[in-house]
Structure 1
Amino acid sequence: MTLLEQLMQGDGVSRGVTALLLAMSIGSWVVILWKTWFLRGGTRDLLRSVAAFWQAQALDEAVDHVKAFDRNTLVLPSVLALQGMTSTPAAKGSLGASGARDARLTRVLRVALHGTMRRVSAGQILLATVGATAPFVGLLGTVWGIYHALTRITQSGAFTIDKVAGPVGEALIMTAAGLAVAIPAVLAYNWFGRVIGRIEAELEGFAHDLLAVFGERPAAALPPAGAMLV
């Protein structure tokens, strides 16, 4: 009996569990493939973009240099935010123009950094959810399948090894399916999380350097590199 035939013989709960596991698997693999492509350069392109920025002679030239290396647009938002603030001052009398230059620069860099990190972290919640719940969804299908298998055996009145092994073995497939869905999601979540952590640390350090160079406070008064701008 094929797997498809076994599913067709199941009830609504077993089919629902199978459909849910299939949806989880498809969703997690879509995220895995997309994030693998998106983070394909890791921190390499980010470091090259930052180095190209500091090698430029002027801010406009730095923007062009960053665009040439920043394939994933990780550094560019902060650079464009800095360029926009320096080239287009906030309207006088507005809340955006209030406060010292450091405060305004911190605000625009924080907004740019948070926007980049939201984009980089997209899909992590889905991977974490699939990795945490897929084994239990598979276990639910197993328990339900064993219950119905034992019910059918009891109704038939023939309680032998060959009568038990087949239905129970088919029900245990659900547990294996749940693990098969969860394991790739967990591995991908941990690997992506490590890459994202390095990217966040580099971007925060870059924002700190921008604030030190283009702000008004002395470097000693700046927050330590690696600390989120607030």
Structure 2
Amino acid sequence: MDIQERLTAFAMLGATWVMWLLVLLSIVGLAIILERAYYLFVSRDDIAKLKSDLLAKLRSNDVDAARTRMRQSRSVEAQVALAGLDAAEDGAETAEERMDGQTSISRLNMERNLAFLGTVGNNAPFVGLAGTVIGIIRAFHELNESQGQVSAGLMAEVGEALVATLIGLLVALPAVAFFNLFQRIIKARLTRADAMGREVLAFLKSERRKNGVAEAAAE
């Protein structure tokens, strides 16, 4: 039996397994969507107020109070700023490195399982297309069996082929939509985190300059 015959024999098993595979992918994708939506929802905060509180405490030179305020928030923005504040005594350069590291960790936490969601969104139509090809092969076989006559079996095979494509699209579209939505939210949060981190760095550099001036004056 050559490769063509083997593939034909495999196709004759039907496209039902393709549809069940797509259903399984859709269930896993939905679970990821719900889990990521919950994670991003509970880690949100009023960033404008958070930043205002941070600046107020830094202007009053109360680093400990700023740390306490950041610990009260579950947001990524607060975690990045806190990483810098925790390294305040080590200097602005160290604080910047700590915040860069926290930013990378926060990105990984927010993007967890999104690669699977993106893969499903990009490839589900092709899985559905595989089911369509199998259905068409079976339809031609049914047409040959009926000696060129349109039969109920033929129409059933054609219908199965079209349904496989439809299911593939229905699985892919929500996956792509939510993948893009989550990526946009993550990008916005990381941008705001970077802005808050810069406020911390500006404070630390300002304090270093003040200390340098004070030491120069004392000499």
- For the aligned pair, the TM-score class normalised by the smaller chain equals 0.7 to 0.9
TM-score (norm 1): 0.73
Higher relative contact order (CA 8 A, sep 6+): 2
CA offsets per residue over residues 152-208 of structure 1, 9 Å max, x none? 331243521544322201221111110110010111112222211211111111111
Q: 2:63 aligns with which of 43, 59, 64?
A: 59
Show the counterpart of 1:125.
115
Whole-Å separation in 2 of the counterparts to 1:203 and 1:60: 19
Query: Residues 139 and 122 from structure 1, CA distance in 2 versus in 1: closer, same or farther, beyond 3 angstroms?
Result: same
What secondary structure sits across from 1:39 in the alignment? helix
| Residues 1-230 of structure 1 mapped to structure 2, 5 A cutoff | 14-40=15-41, 44-56=45-57, 57=60, 58-68=62-72, 70-71=73-74, 73-86=75-88, 101-157=91-147, 159-160=149-150, 162-215=152-205
Residue ranges of structure 2 left out of the alignment (5+ in a row): 1-10, 210-219
Query: Residues 170 and 207 from structure 1, CA distance in 2 versus in 1: closer, same or farther, beyond 3 angstroms?
Result: same
Instruction: Report the residue type matching 2:138 in the other structure.
Output: H
Instruction: Report the residue type matching 1:170 in the other structure.
Output: E
Query: Residues 45 and 24 from structure 1, CA distance in 2 versus in 1: closer, same or farther, beyond 3 angstroms?
Result: farther
Displacement after TM superposition at 1:61 (Å): 1.8
Whole-Å separation in 1 of the counterparts to 2:24 and 2:130: 16
Displacement after TM superposition at 1:44 (Å): 4.6
Choose between structure 1 and 2: higher helix proportion.
2
Whole-Å separation in 1 of the counterparts to 2:116 and 2:48: 28
Query: Residues 86 and 201 from structure 1, CA distance in 2 versus in 1: closer, same or farther, beyond 3 angstroms?
Result: closer
Query: Residues 110 and 86 from structure 1, CA distance in 2 versus in 1: closer, same or farther, beyond 3 angstroms?
Result: same
Q: Is the 2:132–2:162 contact (alpha carbons within 8 Å) kept by the matching residues of 1?
A: yes
Q: Is the 1:50–1:66 contact (alpha carbons within 8 Å) kept by the matching residues of 2?
A: no
Show the counterpart of 1:98.
none
Displacement after TM superposition at 1:64 (Å): 2.4
Q: Is the 1:130–1:182 contact (alpha carbons within 8 Å) kept by the matching residues of 2?
A: yes
Higher Rg of the two aligned structures: 2
Instruction: Report the residue type matching 2:166 in the other structure.
Output: A
Q: Is the 1:17–1:137 contact (alpha carbons within 8 Å) kept by the matching residues of 2?
A: yes
CA offsets per residue over residues 81-129 of structure 1, 9 Å max, x none? 2343236x5xxxxxxxxxxx33322211110111111112223322221
What secondary structure sits across from 2:112 in the alignment? coil
Residue ranges of structure 1 left out of the alignment (5+ in a row): 1-9, 90-100, 219-230
**Paired residues, what number?**
195
What secondary structure sits across from 2:41 in the alignment? coil
Extract structure 1 runs of 4+ deviating beyond 6 A: none
Query: Residues 175 and 164 from structure 1, CA distance in 2 versus in 1: closer, same or farther, beyond 3 angstroms?
Result: same
Q: Is the 2:96–2:201 contact (alpha carbons within 8 Å) kept by the matching residues of 1?
A: yes
RMSD: 2.6
Q: Is the 2:133–2:161 contact (alpha carbons within 8 Å) kept by the matching residues of 1?
A: yes
